[in-house]
A and B are shown apart, each in its own frame.
Chain A
Amino acid sequence: MMPRNLDSIFRFARRSAVTAKRLWLPAAVCVVLVGLRPWFGIAQQTNPSDGSKPAPQAKPAAEDFPPEDDTEQLPTVAELPLPTFEQLIQGPAYDWIVLTNEKCFPVEPLIVRPGAIDAINAQVKAALRKPGGLSESEEAKRKRLALYYLPVTLTRGEEREYKLHSRFIREIIYFEDQMLQRVDRLLDEKEVRKAYELLVALEARDPKWPGIPPRRERLVATEAAMLADRGELEQALMLLEELYDKNPAYSGLEFQMGTVVDRLVERALAADDPRQARFFLKRLARRIPGQRVIAQRNSELSARAAELLNQARAAERDRQWDKALDAAEGAARLWPDVPELLVTLYRIGAHFQRLRVGVIDLPGDGSADAVRRPADRRRNQLTRMELFQPDRFDSGMTRYETPIFNSWEPADLGHSVAFEVRRGREDWESRPALTAGGLASLLATRMQTGSPAYEPRFASAVDSIVVRSPVELIVNFRTAPLRAEALFRFPLPGDSVTYPFRLERRDESSVVYRRSFEESSTTTDRHVSEIVEIRYSDYDAALQGLLRGEVSMLASVPPVQVRPLSDRSEFFLLAGAFPSVHVLQFNPHSAPLANRALRRALMYSLDRPEILQDAILKGAGTLGRVISAPFPTTSNAYNRLITPHKFDPALAYSLARAAQKELGGEIPPLVLHVPEDPLILDSVRRITSAWAKIGVRTNIVQVAASGTAVADGPWDIVYRTDPMMEPLTDLWPYLTLSGGTDVATLMHLPSWLRQELLALDRAGDWTNAEAILRKLHRQLWAEVHLIPLWEIDQYVAIRKNVRGIPTRPVGQYQYAQRWKIEAWFARD
């Protein structure tokens, strides 16, 4: 269909239209406009902020307008409603032509947009005859006059293509302008999400449409305000910073940022996190250095820090060292730039040395438990001073050291040992002064049946105890023990007082150990007085705590963090003497797990190398190994000829079905106790998933530290991580889950295994003992009394202000009473 000139239907609009067909046109325009009427309902009435300007030619005279009855059915611009969000998003898109008489009608989107009228004017201007030029031909004139017409497509009707003279157009309201108006309306109504969607849709139509950037800024400012109202201050600040980076002059932005930062600082201080408060202030200062909140808060923090420092000095004068250190550390945390902080903190910190340690679990109430969690092991290392304690591990054997004896000399071919008790006590030593007589009484209690300290292995090994002098003690054995030191590896009794540290206090987030014997007040060579374990939710949070300076030590570094930490020069990363050995141990009283086929099915179903890599090592490939025994691979007891069982899902499935048949048609759900360790929990989930594939359901129960797996309700499997330092003596209590060495505790084991353990206990030489241990390794492996999973190298990360730590520590706190700590605080 050929387009026709719309002005031809307005016979009053163009008196010069020579070729106009006069008579039928009024009727036709009426038809068209009536046809357009339904569209009026979606028109809008507000003016666009950036619509096309009216044509530059003179306003048409009143007599130029078509008679009112021709356009009266058209809506006025004031009557046009703004399209809704949905209409704008879903379409269709229309532009609105506003006539000079305020009437308007919709058209299909114009080709030239925005500024269609301006474009017409520019074309007309270019076509005008230049002054002094040749006279304009008719053809040229006709072409020039044709340029005044704007081609439009009506939204309805069969004949929809028209041209409209620009002098009748007061304004064009583009679809994009309607979108912008709706965005404004939505932002007024705090409908940020819809406004954002609309803006995105608008940008998709024309990213350069005038008016988008201010809407963007307003959107960000509105969202920030809303977030701030909701209390999500950090997100609000982030948006405001983004806005600031785009338009620093945005109206009210500086004030808004100041308000948000002030509230953030207030919140951080309320949460006792001044470091974060300082961080927000610095963040604000980077953009608006002169903001009023910055100066106000800085002076406030500085004043409070100075007050704390004064309190620290006062406590120092009163020799209340712990309170002095608390106050000085508080000042350092609050405002590290406070004058004289460094000197005061160093002075107090040298007298009362405090070590903060980041952990992910805290010890329990101290109840006895055969399955010791890492937190319990740490507590024991601090609070249970043993007569002999592991010193190091070399050549596959554990070497011992004693804080109690000067020397111990075997005599009579090992049938007796002469001990010489240390006289006196060094200033740094936190232990009781013992005499040979006192020690003899202590040893005697371990030999008395019925005594709480009765230890059957010790009682059967020791024949008599002779006290020669206050410092000389002779212990005679019935048979020469293979390792006398291992026999004497038990703690000094101490229910009321523990050595070298005592548990001072604890709450849900921390536990405090303090030196049992304070060092002399006159000594200048002082050592750690207090160890504070601070609990974090996971290893990442603990690492953050270390990096921020909240703690000076991480008790356990997971493999994935070893490499990043080793690259940092401010920390020592120390590998432990023993790896942690991860084992799934079965409850000897569990009826389903008495079934050998089921135990083997559980083992064959585990792809241990893959679980180790994916859940534990996460790329740190050399820090863990799959094992086939519950002791470290470096131990002499480890039989290297035995390789771990291979992953064989088909065999596992077959064995599980066999077990199911033997168990009466159904394998009951197994209860698996696991420690509170996110890393372990991840691996356990993979393990139970593998078991589920062979039809074994498992309920995971997370057990807190000192949660006695043995005593707490029914359970079938327990996840253990305790390292076996001396398999010769530790294997028995490990397998019996009793912690003791009474023969009765072996009764749940098969008689031949029991006999092997008894033979190990009686072994008289190393060759025999190692042979028995390796045989036991083979038997445990074959019978699957437990599932050895993997061993993980243990690492401890310590800030370099801590000194005196062994290079390969046994446990986390080996010789902690000898450690020295220089005061240190984070300056950022």
Chain B
Amino acid sequence: MRSNLLRQPRKAAAHQPAPARYPVAARRSFPRAARHAFGRFAQTTLLLAGIAVVAPAVGRAQVAVPLPAEQTPYEVSIIVTFGQGSVPQQERRREMIARLAEAVERSVGPMWNCRVSEQTDGSPAAVDALERTSVGDVQQEFTAAGIDKAYLLAIGGDAAGYRLAAREWDSATRDLSRPVSRRMIDLNEFPQLALTLVHALFRPVIIIDRTRWGALVCRARAGELAAETGDWQPFAAGRMFEPYFRYLSMERTVERVQRVPWTWLLPVEPRRATADCEVISGLRSPLSGHRRRVEVVALGIRPQAESTLLRVRTFPPAQKPLAGIEIEIVAGEDAEPLRFVSDRSGTVRLPGTVTSEAPYVWLNARSGQAWLARIPFVPGLHDTELLELPDDAPRLRAEGEIALLQADLVDTVARRAVLAATARARAKDRRFKEMDEAISEVRALPRAEKFTAELNTIRVRFVREAREAKDRNAEGRIVRLCEETADLIKFYLDDDKIRAVREELEELRRIAAEDEAARKQFEAQESRRKK
């Protein structure tokens, strides 16, 4: 497959002339969104500054008149592969290609410089081969050819007719979409069905600029060229974008592309080619900082996977699988959260479709009572996702030890209450010797100091562990847990309470002694009186 694609000649089935290529620096010079955003004054200032910066380069290049991205059409290649036995006649194939090119031209318009071509594969498993194709198989060829978007279509035989599968390759993010496929009964359906698939796969690219005030402005590639209405609008309602960092070399070539994890851009009040963006992210500052050789682009997202395998790991470098982490998907304020648990290998399979008002949901990760993460999540967008969380083991171990201590504490408090009640009852019955025994039993019970000492041992041990692991969250949680337990110890094993009981019992003893003395005195008086 790869070699065939590489050998594929560029047949001009129907295409517009390719636009001139512009240096990246030039394309960044006059952001259209900036003009809208800053007003006339800012526009003038920026223009002068831009001229000052760009003039030498323009002087050197001598050729390019930089077109803004939103006016730059996509260079698109649609490559159709016919599986063995699906379309035997060459004429018929040409006709189908031509009809597809027409349909694309009609539907997309000037937004694309599109070239539709045929790949003669002859393989009986063209559809399967397409599904197996990886980024590495196609990247070099398309990058060299200056293609922005490539659509790989494959037709194969099917029990009930034909199966048409398609994938999109995006140059800006070097991403190959997951395949989508449809069944067709008649080959006459091909152009329309192929166009439908291509449209379903199309992920518009936006360039992200940051204003001086920190707001994000998005410019859609070829946004100005898209039809005012229709399905190909880059900022279609409800569409979200997934940002990528493009790391450039000194020569301004792309060295690598990295997806910004757990971050999405939601256009706010979109215009035709530009929009302000709201950042929805689980990270504190996902797009912050200005780095000279890093571009930020974003790709429109189209969730298609039936499920997403979430891999839950500790932070690098250990990246241990975290088992037993509770994952909640919250689709709305009133919706009942969907609950999952990571298995032994630290993975959770999340459903690809979740009924939600927003195009995203919130994913909460919890270990027991401790919240570890709260991140936005688009179900079914990727086959796998990596969620890195702090290792909660030290806190859990501390919790286990504290649970043991609390169990002892509960027993001690209950015993003390029983003994106090017993002593009180004995005092009321004037059995003061037995009362003293009960009090001495109370004294023999473990005191608050003992529990506090044990608690301190736990605190020191596990806080040190958390510090060694450089996990400040865990450290904080352990300290909090210990403080709560210390409060319990202080409250329930307060010496003042037992002192009050003792005083009350002594008072009872004193009253009893006084009564006894009075009785004796009365008896003495009586005897004297009788005498």
Contacts and interface: CB of A to CB of B under 8 A. Distances in A.
Given A460-B345, A779-B400, A755 B324 contact: yes
Interface string B356-400: 000000000001111000000000000000000000110011011
A758 B404 contact: no
B417 A750 contact: no
B400 A747 contact: no
B495 interface: no
Interface string A768-796: 00000000001100111000000000000
B344 A596 contact: no
B407 interface: yes
Contacts of A653: 418
B415 interface: yes
Contact of B418 (A654, A744, A755): A654
Given A650-B422, A751-B368, A752-B396, A743 B411 contact: no
Interface residues of A, number: 34
B397 A596 contact: no
A460 B347 CA distance: 11
A460 B344 contact: yes
B414 A658 contact: yes
B465 interface: no
B102 interface: no
B343 interface: yes
Contacts of A655: 410, 414
Contacts of A752: 368, 396-397, 399-400, 403
Interface string A736-753: 000000111011001111
Contact of B324 (A754, A778, A784): A754
Contacts of A743: 323-324, 341-344
Nearest to B349: A449
B418 A751 contact: no
Contacts of A782: 403-404, 407-408
Contacts of A784: 407
B326 interface: yes
B341 A755 contact: no
Given A456-B344, A779-B403, A782-B403, A597 B410 contact: yes
Contacts of B415: 648, 651, 654
Nearest to A755: B396
A756 interface: yes
B344 A457 contact: yes
Contacts of B392: 755
Nearest to A742: B343
A420 interface: no
Contacts of A746: 324, 341
B341 A779 contact: no
Interface in A257-313: none
B400 to A, nearest CB: 4
A651 B345 CA distance: 44
Given A755-B397, A782-B408, A650 B418 contact: yes
Contact of B369 (A600, A747, A751, A778): A751
Nearest to B393: A755
A456 B343 contact: yes
A162 B73 CA distance: 154
A174 B496 CA distance: 90
Nearest to A596: B410
A648 B414 CA distance: 11
A758 B408 CA distance: 25
Contact of B403 (A457, A742, A750, A762): A750
Interface string B31-65: 00000000000000000000000000000000000
Contacts of B368: 750-752, 754
A176 interface: no
A449 B345 CA distance: 13
A650 B400 CA distance: 28
Contacts of B408: 782
Contacts of A596: 407, 410
Contacts of A751: 324, 367-370, 396, 399
A761 interface: yes
A558 B422 CA distance: 42
Contact of B341 (A658, A747, A783): A747
Contacts of A648: 415
Contacts of B396: 751-752, 755
**Best-buried of B323, B340, B341, B421 by chain A (most CB within 10 Å):** B323
Given A747-B326, A752-B399, A755-B324, A600 B410 contact: yes
Interface string A628-663: 000000000000000000001011011100100000
Contact of B323 (A651, A758, A783): A758
A744 B404 CA distance: 24
Contacts of B399: 750-752
Contacts of A742: 343
A701 B414 CA distance: 31
A732 to B, nearest CB: 11
B308 to A, nearest CB: 15
Contacts of B411: 600, 651
Interface in A713-743: 742-743
A761 B345 CA distance: 12
A803 to B, nearest CB: 45
A606 B404 CA distance: 21
Contacts of B323: 743, 758
A650 B393 CA distance: 38
A271 B369 CA distance: 65
A746 B417 CA distance: 35
B344 A761 contact: yes
Contacts of A762: 344
A456 B345 CA distance: 10
Contacts of B345: 460
Contacts of A754: 324, 368
Contact of A744 (B341, B369, B370, B400): B341
A782 B400 CA distance: 10
B403 A783 contact: yes
Contact of B400 (A456, A597, A756): A756
B126 to A, nearest CB: 29
Interface in B311-349: 323-324, 326, 340-345, 349
B369 to A, nearest CB: 7
Contacts of A747: 324, 326, 341
Contacts of B343: 456, 460, 742-743
The 7 closest A-B pairs by CB, nearest first: A751-B368, A752-B400, A460-B344, A782-B407, A752-B399, A755-B396, A744-B341
Given A744-B341, A778-B404, 6 more contacts: A654-B414, A750-B368, A750-B399, A751-B370, A752-B399, A782-B403
